[in-house]
Amino acid sequence: MFTAPLLAAFLLTAAPDAAPAPPVNVLWITCEDLSPRLDSYGDPLARTPHLDRLAAEGTRYTHAFGVYGVCSPNRFTLITGTYPTAAGAGPMRTVKRTSALADVTDPVLRAIPTWEATPPAPVRCFPELLRAAGYYCTNNSKQDYQFTPPVTVWDESGKKAHWRNRPGHGTAEAAPFFAVFNLMTTHESKLHERTSPAITDRAAVTVPPFLPDTLAMREDFARQYDNLAVLDEEVGALLAELDADGLRENTVVMFFSDHGDGLPRHKRWVYDSGLQVPLIVRFPAGHPDRGEPGTTNDRLVSFVDFAPTVLSLAGIEPPAWLPGPAFLGEYAGEPREYVFAARDRMDPAPETIRAARGPRFKYVRNLRPDLPYWGFVPYRDRAAGAAEITDLIARNALGPDQWQLSGASKPQEELYDTQADPHEIRNLAADPAYADVLTDLRTATERWMEQTNDSRTLDGAELIATLWPNGQQPRTAKPLILEADGLVTIRCETAGASIGYKLPGDQTWRVYAEPFTPEPGATVRAIAHRIGWKPSQVVRLEN
C-alpha cells in the first residue's frame, strides 16, 4: 500500500547525497484527435511551422502510441500511468454518457449505467508526487479522467491555470513547475462544421484506401488540416510565452496528441491510424537527454510511459505500481518490446478488442467477433464523412479495401505488417509464413491481459460489481489528524487514499507527505480521497 508516510520515505530516499542540479520544468502541450499529420513527419499538406521548428530544435518520436483510440481512457492512463483495462476505465465514457444521447432511442442502450474508474489501491495521479516534491502543477484545462480527481492532483486546474501563477514567478525562488495545456482546436467536433479558415486545397487531400474517396470525406480531411494550421499558431503562442519568461533553458517541452485523427477508422480504432500520435520533445541546452537537434527516435513509446518519464525528468524515482518504463531522465529504463492497446464500448456500441504492436507487426484480438467494426456511435456520425459511411454500408457500396467498415462480423485474430502495409488492411493472421510472429504477439497480448487483470467483456453492472463492494460506490474514510508536541500527523484507514490538508490562508489543498509543524493556534483541515471512491468529509484540528 502506497500510503502518505511511504510517499514521504520515498521522496527522502530519492534525494541524492550531493547537491542536486536545479529541478527542470516540464511543459506538456497536448492537443486533441491528431495523428502525426505534421510537415516534420512527412506530410507536406500540413501548415505547421511552429511545430516543425520545435521538431528541428528537439527530438521527434516516430513510434509513440496511445493505449486507446479515444480520449477518456487515454487520459486515465496519462494521469495515473496505468492501463484502463485494470480499473474499469476502458468504456467511452464511464462517468457520463455521450452528448449525442438524444439520438439513442433503444431503451437498453439508453440505460447503460455510469461509474467512476477505480484502479488498485496504490495508484495515484502522478502530479501529486510532483507536488509533494515541491513542484507547482497546473492543468489548462481538460481533465476527463474517467473519475473525479482528488483535490491533491493540481495546484490549479482550469482555463486560467498557468505556470505564471506560481508563487515567486519570475524570481529565483519560484518553484519548478509541471504545466499542461490542452488545445481543443483539432477535436473531432470541429469537423462537424467549419471553424477555421478554409486554406487547404480539397483536391490535394489524400484519402487513405480504407476510406471511400468522396467529396464529404475530402472536406472532413481538409478541415482537419485547416484546424491544424490554427493549432500550430496556438502552440507558437505558448512557446513564445515560455521564451518571454526566460524559461526556455530550464524547461523540457513535450508536444503530443491524445490519440489519432478524429476521422473514420482513425479515432476509436486500434490500428495505427487511431493510436499513433506525434511526440516532439525539446530539451534545454546541456540537458543529459538532449541529442543533436532535429533527430528522430524510433523507440516504442506508450502513454503508460509518460507518467514515469515526467517523474524521472524531475529526479523522482517512479514507484513500483507504474508499469511503464521512463524513456527519459535519471530513471530511464530499457526500451519496451511491445506497446498494447484496447477498445471497449464506444457509447453506446458494445465492443471488446485487444492489440499489441512491436516495431513492425500489429496483432489484434477480437473478443467480440460477432460484432461489426462499425457499430452505432451517433456522436461519430455528426461528421458528414462518417454519416456517409453509415449510408454506404447500408447500401453495400464500399470497396474491398474498406472491408473493416463493411463487415457484419470480424475475424478472431488480425496480423498486419505495418511496414509493408501501413494502412493495416491486409490481414496476415492465416498466412503460415507469419505463424511465428502471430504466436509471439498472441502470447504477449495474453500475458498483458493477465498481468493487468483485464476485465475483458464485462460492462455495465457486471463491471461495477468488480470495482465496488456490492456494486455501490464506497466513501473514503475520514482522515485522522493527530498532534503530539506540536507535530501533526494525518492518516487514513482507506488503502490508497490521497490526503490533502489546508492551513489558514491556503487557497489550494496541500499534499500530505510527512508530519509537519503548523503555526501555534493554526487550524488544520484535512480530506482524503481514493480514486474512484467518494471523497471523505473534511475534518479539522483546532490548535
The residues annotated with a catalytic role in the active site are 71
- Peptide bond between residue 312 and the one before it cis (omega within 30 degrees of 0): no
Residue 140: CB atoms within 10 A of its CB come to 19
* All residues at 6 or more sequence positions from 37 whose CB lies less than 8 Å from its CB, including other chains: 43, 46, 224, 225, 228, 261, 278
User: Residues 423, 429, 432, 435: what is their CA dihedral angle, to the nearest 10 degrees?
Assistant: 100
Q: Which of 146, 145, 491 is CA-nearest to residue 154?
A: 145
C-alpha to C-alpha distance for 78 and 307, rounded to whole angstroms: 6
Q: Which of 229, 217, 145 is CA-nearest to residue 389?
A: 217
Please state the three-class secondary structure of 138-155 as a single string: EEECCCCCCCCCCCCCCC
The helix/strand/coil state of 539 is strand
Q: Which residues pair with 31 in a beta bridge?
A: 183, 257
* 536, three cell numbers: 471523505
Find the angle CA(392)-CA(396)-CA(401) to the nearest 5 degrees.
85
- Give per-residue burial for 405-433: e unless 16+ CB within 10 Å, then b: bbbeebeebbbbbbeeeebbbebbbeeee
Find the angle CA(451)-CA(455)-CA(456) to the nearest 5 degrees.
100
C-alpha to C-alpha distance for 149 and 139, rounded to whole angstroms: 12
Q: Which of 475, 466, 415, 483 is CA-nearest to residue 444?
A: 415
C-alpha to C-alpha distance for 119 and 530, rounded to whole angstroms: 9
Do 345 and 459 meet the contact criterion of CB atoms below 8 Å apart? yes
* All residues at 6 or more sequence positions from 420 whose CB lies less than 8 Å from its CB, including other chains: none
* 92, three cell numbers: 467511452
C-alpha to C-alpha distance for 479 and 60, rounded to whole angstroms: 45
Find the angle CA(69)-CA(74)-CA(80) to the nearest 5 degrees.
160
* 474, three cell numbers: 464506497
C-alpha to C-alpha distance for 92 and 513, rounded to whole angstroms: 34
- Give per-residue burial for 22-53: e unless 16+ CB within 10 Å, then b: ebbbbbbbbbbbbbbbbbbbeeebbbbebbbb
Alpha-helical runs (H) found in 410-493:
435-451, 460-467
C-alpha to C-alpha distance for 256 and 232, rounded to whole angstroms: 12
